[in-house]
Structure formats: C-alpha cells, structure tokens
Amino acid sequence: MDMEKDKINMTPNLVTPNKPLLFDETVCNGCNMCVKICMMDVLYPNSERGKPPVVLYPDECWYCGCCVMECPIWEKEDVKPIILKHPMMQRVRWKRKATGEYFRVGMKNPPPPNNRPPVGGWKPRT
C-alpha cells in the first residue's frame, strides 16, 4: 500500500465562522509551545515541521491568551506570530481624547487608572 494514500491530516472543525487565533506563517517557527500551554486543547501540531499549529476546535477557545503569552517569538521581538481575535461583542476599547491613543482590555502596558472624582462629585444621589 502507498504511504501517501494512508496519510491522515487534521482539519479544523468549522462549527462557527469564528477564528480565535491567527498565525503569521512567515514569523511562526512551529515550536508548538502554544499547543502545549493551551488548557482547552484547541490547537494541534501541524503535520509539516516549521508550520504553525492547526486551530482544530475554534469554538472551544476561552480567549485566555496563554498561547500568545507563551510564544517565545512574541516575547522577544516586535513581530506578532499569533494574534488573538476576540469576538466583536467582547472587544472593549477606549480612546484618550487628549492624545487620540486607543487602549483595550488586556493590553501589555495599560494606562494608569483614572482616579479623578466624577464630574458631579462623590456624593451619592438622594
């Protein structure tokens, strides 16, 4: 029997149109550290060496970000081999009016908290 005919590959279970993780194939070296750290076993190692893992169960992703934080390339360089894409309803952003900077929940260097009193003061409404 020919070995190529018996070769089995994993393919994503596309239950939803959601893609929780995007891999940049030009940057990812296929170390599979993200596969090892994933608590929900969403990722599976690619059958080809040096290729990014397969997002096998995208609907099971908890969006915890441990796969992104475990990536050795993401830590050392400015390039992003893994991008975590939260669903549209979970994307929370705010903009600082003075500078025009955008911020989001879970970013690496968030701005300091706003400790100024509210416009109406701290007194409770009666």
CA distances from residue 71 to 17, 33, 65, 92 in whole angstroms, order as listed: 25, 6, 10, 24
Give the mean pLDDT of the chain: 81
Q: Residue 61 is encoded by which pair of tokens?
A: 């992703």
> Does 3 score more than 70 pLDDT?
no
Residue bearing the bigger pLDDT, 115 or 21 = 21
The pLDDT value given to residue 19: 84
Residue bearing the bigger pLDDT, 17 or 34 = 34
Nearest CA to 61 among 92, 78, 82, 79?
82
Residue bearing the bigger pLDDT, 24 or 103 = 24
Sketch out the chain's domains with CATH numbers: 21-87 (3.30.70.20)
Q: Which residue has the tokens 């879970």?
A: 106
The pLDDT value given to residue 91: 72
The pLDDT value given to residue 15: 60
